[in-house]
Structure 1
Amino acid sequence: MRSRITHRIHFLLERLFPEKRLFLRSDTETRFIRLKPETQLVAWTGSAVVVAWTIIATAILLMDSIGAGNFRAQAQRDQMTYEQRLNALSSERDARAMEAVAAQERFNSALAQISIMQSELLATEEKRRELETGMEVVQATLRNTMRAREEAREQLAELSAETESPTVGTLSEDAVGTVDLLANALAETAAERDMIAADAEFAVDHAREMELELRLLQERNDQIFRQLEEAMLVSVEPLDEMFRAAGMNPQNLINQVRRGYTGTGGPLTPLQFSTRGGTPDPDALRANSILNSMDRINLYRIAAEKAPFSIPVTSSFRYTSGFGPRWGRMHKGADFAAPIGTPIYTTADGVVTHAGWSSGYGRLIKIRHDFGIETRYAHLNSMDVTVGQRVSRGERIGAMGNSGRSTGPHLHYEVRVNGEPVNPMIYIRAGQDVF
């Protein structure tokens, strides 16, 4: 049975691989090598394995090369996208900085214009009071003149009646003297009457001129008031929006700042243009409203200095990480990357409560501000402040470094409200249009 199977296999191999002979001839003899079917099968199988292995290896190499090329191209595309994004952020930051400078200049210009307009308003109000006093004097003079004119008319009528009653022929010498005296008095009274009438007409004309001048003065005052009110509106609204965008109640901030500034230099004293009593003067009400707006702006500026609306890095930097979850953990601040030694500035007025080493933070500065706000500046290379020192917004407090648990030179900046971390970019973005 076994020999039969073997014989059949050998028969099939002979059909596929017939026996061949390879002759080797030399000068003296001829030899041959017999290639059996089994030998040819082994040689063919080996060749097929070598060719298949070559094809597979070549395909693998080509696939690896194509994959590596795609990976490098994707990496280059990602790098270009990242660089474009960084350039866009840098351009946007520069634009916001320029807008902040322009807004500050507009704000200062508006305040200067308000000061000038307030001086003009007070001057025009003083002139208006003088004109009112002059009007009262003119009106009193006019009333006296009119009364004197009526008295002169009555006297003239009486004298005329007396001179017409007796006849000229029956008059005695005494009567003639009396008549002459009365005639002279009548002439003087008529002249005085004409003078009083001329004075009255002049007083009326002068009163009309003063009324016209007073009306023009009131129109100018109204124009000054409108300009002041518009300037107040333009100045107050951005500050309101800034505090609301930061999640802060503007009225509560105003009340808190006012409680801390109740001495000299606090709220402005209201104006009182009239001492006659009665209904309030509309101009006084408008002026007091403007003064209240100016007081609100002053209080806003004080509050803005005490809240972290500024940015801690003013040199060129890269915004590398934001507030929120990162690598499975909560990132409680914002990271700004720049070379070691880049100056770091405080973002609001406050008091330094910590300046030293703090485990993962490295060299850390903590500053306590008003309204329950605290800012932290971590991974510093050096610190320029000490505990208990008072600092102002924009004051240099240290230099950027790579201390603590850090992968490279950068500033880790935190803002905490009543101990809870909040996104620092909320305050920075809110202050971009104002500072």
Structure 2
Amino acid sequence: MRSRLTLKIHTLLERVFPEKRLFLRSDTETRFIRLKSETQLVAWTGSIIVVAWTIIATAILLMDSIGAGNFRAQAQRDQLTYEQRLNALSGERDARAAEALAAQERFNSALQQISIMQSELLATEEKRRELETGLEVVQATLRDTMRAREAARQELAALSAENDDPTATAMTDDAAGTVDLLANALAETAAERDMIAADAEFAIGHAQEMELELRLLQERNDQIFRQLEEAMLVSVEPLDQMFRAAGMNPESLIDQVRRGYSGTGGPLTPLQFSTRGGTNDPDAERANRILGSMDRINLYRIAAEKAPFALPVKSNFRFTSGFGQRWGRLHAGADFAGPIGTPIYATADGVVTNASWSSGYGRLIKIRHEFGIETRYAHLNAMDVKVGQRVSRGDRIGAMGNSGRSTGPHLHYEVRVGGEPVNPMIYIRAGQDVF
């Protein structure tokens, strides 16, 4: 039974792969190699498997390369979008700050005008009281004079009846002149009193208008303050979350940066808006809180420049290996594969402490940063910095290569904190939403 089945299979193979002979001829003899149907089938199958494997491997590499390029392009677009948003918020924040200062100047000017009007009103009221007092004295004196005149007339009439004396007539004329003088003085005093009352009424009305304008200005200031506070909140929160995502304490970072930048004065000096002593001005307190947020953002920016939140490779690359155990050993960094000569950039401000050949690392650059952080860039093809050189984030420091113990051109990138290696992707992912 088995021989019949084998014979049928052999017959079928003979139809598809007929037996062939490969002749080898030399000067003295001729030989041939017999290629059976089974041998041809094995060779044909092996060739198909090799070709299929080559096609599949090539497709996987192309898809991986395209995916890495799309990821990098998307990251760059996201970074550009956030930078534009952050710049727009910064511009709006500066505009709001300028509006707040201008509004505060108008507020102070209005306060000064109201203070002047109140002083004038008090002076006018005091003068009016003095005039009323003087007018009452004049009226009392006039009443006494009128009574004295009437008594003098009666006495004069009695004397005239007894004796027609010229001296009495002269005294009557003098009393009449005195009365006329007092009446004129009383009329002038009354007119001046009416004028002072009119001035006081005008001052009161003007003061009410100023109070209304001051209230509207206060409402405008409150709206500006709210917008500034919202802008500060939107600007501070992403930076605060970025440091926390990287495992860094924002408060200790702020204190450390502030100690390094301890200058005083300038536009962030606390403001004093109150024109009088006593309780604190709530507007001044809100403005100082906003200035404190602006100062915190500036300190955050300084700290972010000194921590490795950026990518060391800006061109298209393929992420080939991450941080962690590999083949029973700790892989202390992340690998970014790309063509030889791809530019490598510093991920934070710092000082170059090593730029030389280092055993399995090949050409190695070490940069010391603030907060006890060090970054390493290994397997380089070229090094563009020297020991002791100070670099900033984004400065080109070398080119990707294949030096040292490496299986292909790539960058081995490490981040060490206090001498201990940490996953560099923690910093890179934390900074993707900000930078």
- TM-score bucket (shorter structure): 0.7 to 0.9
C-alpha RMSD over aligned residues = 3.0
Whole-Å separation in 2 of the counterparts to 1:183 and 1:51:
157
1:40-55 correspondence to structure 2 within 5 Å: 48=4, 51=7, 54=10
The whole-number CA distance in structure 2 between the counterparts of 1:295 and 1:268 is 7
- In the other structure, the counterpart of 1:362 is 362
Q: Which residue of 2 is the match for residue 425 of structure 1?
A: 425
Which residue number in structure 2 is paired with residue 434 of structure 1? 434
Aligned-pair distance for 1:69?
Answer: 6.4
**SS of the residue 1:399 aligns to:** strand
Structure 1 counterpart SS, 2:272: coil
Q: CA deviation at 1:46?
A: 11
Aligned equivalents of 2:5 and 2:238: distance in 1?
A: 80
For 2:238, the equivalent position in structure 1 comes to: 238
Residues 318 and 265 (structure 1), Cα distance of their counterparts in 2 relative to 1, 3 Å cut: farther
The residue aligned with 2:19 is none
How much does 1:388 deviate?
Answer: 1.0
Aligned partners of 2:68 and 2:316 also within 8 Å: no
Equivalent position SS for 2:394: coil
Question: 1:394 is paired with a residue of what secondary structure?
Answer: coil
Query: Which range is displaced more, 336-345 or 169-178?
Result: 169-178
Q: Distance in 2 between matches of 1:230 and 1:390?
A: 37
Larger-gyration structure (1/2): 1
Structure 1 equivalent of residue 34 of structure 2: none
Aligned residues of 2:374 and 2:415 also touching (Cα < 8 A): yes
C-alpha contact (below 8 Å) 1:309/1:430 kept by paired residues: yes
Q: Is the Cα–Cα contact under 8 Å of residues 257 and 299 in structure 1 kept in the other structure? A: yes
Runs of 5+ unmatched residues, structure 1: 1-44
Moved more, 169-178 or 126-135: 169-178
Residue 180 of structure 1 and its aligned partner are, at CA, apart by 1.1
SS at match of 2:94: helix
Structure-1-length-normalised TM-score: 0.81
Deviation of 1:50 after TM superposition, in Å, equals 6.2
Comparing 161-170 with 103-112, which one deviates more in the overlay? 161-170
Deviation for aligned residue 1:427: 0.7
Report the 3-state secondary structure (helix = DSSP H, G, I; strand = E; otherwise coil) of the residue aligned with 2:433: coil
Residues 1:254 and 2:210 aligned together = no
2:320 counterpart residue number: 320
Do the aligned residues in 2 keep the contact of 1:362 with 1:379 (CA within 8 Å)? yes
- In the alignment, is the contact (CA less than 8 A) between 1:366 and 1:377 conserved in 2? yes
CA deviation after TM superposition for structure 1 residue 432, in Å: 1.0
5+ unaligned residues in a row in structure 2: which ranges? Answer: 14-36, 154-171
Task: Report whether the alignment pairs 1:114 with 2:93.
Answer: yes
Q: 1:410 to 1:103 in 2, by over 3 A?
A: same
Deviation at 1:197, TM superposition (A): 1.2
Question: 1:129 maps to which residue?
Answer: 108
Amino acid in structure 2 at the alignment position of 1:285: E
Partner SS, residue 378 of structure 1: strand
Deviation of 1:413 after TM superposition, in Å, equals: 0.7
Q: C-alpha deviations, 1:179-222, integer Å up to 9, x for none?
A: 11111111111111111111011101110111112112212221
Asked if the contact 1:309/1:428 (under 8 Å) is kept, the reply is yes
Whole-angstrom CA distance in 1 between matches of 2:347 and 2:180: 99
Give the secondary-structure state (helix, strand or coil) at the position aligned to 2:248.
coil
Task: Report the more deviating stretch, 131-140 or 393-402.
Answer: 131-140
**Where do 1:54-93 residues align within 5 Å?**
54=10, 80=59, 83-93=62-72
Equivalent AA in structure 1 for residue 83 of structure 2: Q
Give me the identity figure in percent: 64
Pairwise CA distance, 1:75: 7.4
Change (3 A) 1:329 1:347: same
Quick one: which amino acid aligns to residue 176 of structure 1?
A
Aligned to 1:156: 135
Q: Does 1:105 align with 2:84?
A: yes
SS at 2:381 equivalent: strand
**C-alpha distance 68-133 of structure 1, shift in aligned 2 (>3 A):** same
* 2:68–2:317 Cα contact (<8 Å) kept: no
Whether contact under 8 Å (1:348, 1:394) holds in the other structure is yes
1:335 aligns with 2:291: no
Report the secondary structure of 1:381's partner residue: strand
Q: Which residue of 2 aligns with 1:412?
A: 412
What is the DSSP-based 3-state SS (H/G/I as helix, E as strand, rest coil) of the residue aligned with 1:421? strand
The range that moved more, 243-252 or 175-184, is 175-184
Compared CA separation, residues 147 and 74, structure 1 to 2 (3 A): same
Distance 1:81 1:337 in 2: 16
- Residue 216 of structure 2 corresponds to 216
Offset of residue 86 of structure 1: 4.4
Please give the secondary structure, in 1, of the residue aligned with 2:357.
strand
**Aligned amino acid, residue 424 of structure 2:** P
**What is the CA–CA distance in structure 2 between the aligned matches of 1:179 and 1:157, rounded to whole Å?**
16
Q: How far 1:422 moved relative to its partner?
A: 1.1
Report how many residues are paired.
Answer: 391
Residue equivalent to 1:37: none
Distance 1:308 1:169 in 2: 109
